[in-house]
Chain A
Amino acid sequence: MNFRNLLIASAGASAALMIAGAAEAANTITSSAGASISLIGAISLTKNSDLSFGEVVIPTSSSAVVTVAASNGAVVTSSDTAVHTAGSGPAKFTFVGTTAGDTFNNVSAGSTVTLSDGNSHTLTLTPAIALTGTTGSGPYQVAGATAPVLYVGGSITIPTGATAAAYTGTVNVSLTYP
């Protein structure tokens, strides 16, 4: 931005107002200009549940991939020896403040998330996302009055030599709007 030009413009505008003021006594000139503002409703996400892979038996023959589907929470393991037990589910976020036709974009849960047992043992989670209540594939548009829901699942590769423990981490989701 050129501040010198701005200052000149400001002076020019003041001069024009003074001239108009001087002429007002003799004649009245009325004009109008439109004014508009676009108010964007605040959108927020409420976390309803965390992402859990439940309990998985360490595979014995070769590494195994455990997947929690973002769309429906189904759990699949790539090895019969990596037995999964109950207690899994995708992370769930509900949109707050949306109305039909609102748009948002760049929905992401990151490329990888490190899960740790707090004792130098780690696993790598590759997140996957799913949306309900929207149309399009980016930008997304809110389909109706029902608030959209964002689900985060993902997959974890478990090596045969993994250490038995509870591993935790944090999934960061982000999006932009409008």
Chain B
Amino acid sequence: MAHPSLTAAFLAISLLGAEAPVQLNATAAASIKLLPSGGIAVVTPLTLPSVQLSPGSNNVMFSSSTPSAGTGGGSISGNAKLTVLRDSSEAVSVDVPASFSVVQAGGGGSLTVNTTNKSDLSIAGEGVLLGGTMMGGSATSVDIGGSLSLASEDHLVPGPYDGLFVVVVQYN
């Protein structure tokens, strides 16, 4: 029979020999950069002047950037003015459609409006703006005008025409 004191000693030795888990630690950095939300604010829409076609006249051309004399009154003609918001450190490109349709309110027909842009914006094919005064600014105003050709007044239905065009700003 083991002596009680010896038993205690062996138990103590056994406890001392038990494996204790080793804790291992390491660290890493975590980061995120929040960018201000960009956006496009429509300051003014593109408003084409009202025109009156005289019977027997030929094509009538007008441009909202240099509007022809309107006769219908109402809205003041002018370019669409958009404000593009962006972090000044980021480059952006603006995609403006080369043309869009306006539809007569009563469903009488549609016309095609060709867009024009400020000359100080470099423009690639299909109206994609690649540079110009807007680059590097935190907020930039972009003017978009339009023109249409009334090729055949025989098919025109008098009345207001409305339409939408989509401007896409890409953050690079």
Indicate, yes or no, whether A interacts with B. yes
Interface set of A (CB-CB < 8 Å, partner B): 1-2, 5-6, 8-10, 12-13, 38, 40, 43-45, 47, 49-60, 66, 81, 83, 85, 91, 93, 104-106, 113, 115, 123, 125, 152, 154, 156, 158, 162-178
User: Is B3 in contact with A9, judged by CB distance below 8 angstroms?
Assistant: yes
User: Is B30 in contact with A56, judged by CB distance below 8 angstroms?
Assistant: no
User: Is A55 in contact with B31, judged by CB distance below 8 angstroms?
Assistant: no
Q: How far is the CA of A172 from the CA of B3 in the complex (A)?
A: 50
Q: How far is the CA of A57 from the CA of B25 in the complex (A)?
A: 33
User: Is A170 in contact with B6, judged by CB distance below 8 angstroms?
Assistant: no
User: Is B28 in contact with A55, judged by CB distance below 8 angstroms?
Assistant: no
Which residues of chain B are within 8 angstroms of A50 by Cβ–Cβ distance?
28-31
Taking A51-B28, A123-B32 as known contacts, 19 extra A-B pairs with beta carbons closer than 8 A to each other, sorted by chain A number, are A9-B6, A12-B5, A40-B19, A47-B28, A51-B31, A52-B31, A53-B33, A56-B33, A56-B34, A57-B35, A57-B171, A58-B37, A91-B28, A104-B24, A166-B31, A166-B34, A173-B25, A173-B27, A178-B19
Which residues of chain A are within 8 angstroms of B29 by Cβ–Cβ distance?
50-51, 91, 168-171
Interface string of B7-30 (1 = CB under 8 A from A): 011001000000101111111111
The residues in B between 31 and 50 inclusive whose CB is less than 8 angstroms from any CB of A are 31-39
> Does B4 sit within 8 A of A, measured CB to CB?
yes
The number of chain B residues with a CB under 8 A from chain A is 29
User: Is A93 in contact with B34, judged by CB distance below 8 angstroms?
Assistant: no
Q: How far is the CA of A177 from the CA of B87 in the complex (A)?
A: 48
Q: How far is the CB of A100 from chain B (nearest CB, A)?
A: 19
Which residues of chain A are within 8 angstroms of B4 by Cβ–Cβ distance?
5
User: Is B23 in contact with A93, judged by CB distance below 8 angstroms?
Assistant: no
Q: How far is the CA of A59 from the CA of B31 in the complex (A)?
A: 18
Q: How far is the CA of A56 from the CA of B37 in the complex (A)?
A: 9
User: Is A53 in contact with B31, judged by CB distance below 8 angstroms?
Assistant: yes
User: Is B8 in contact with A176, judged by CB distance below 8 angstroms?
Assistant: no
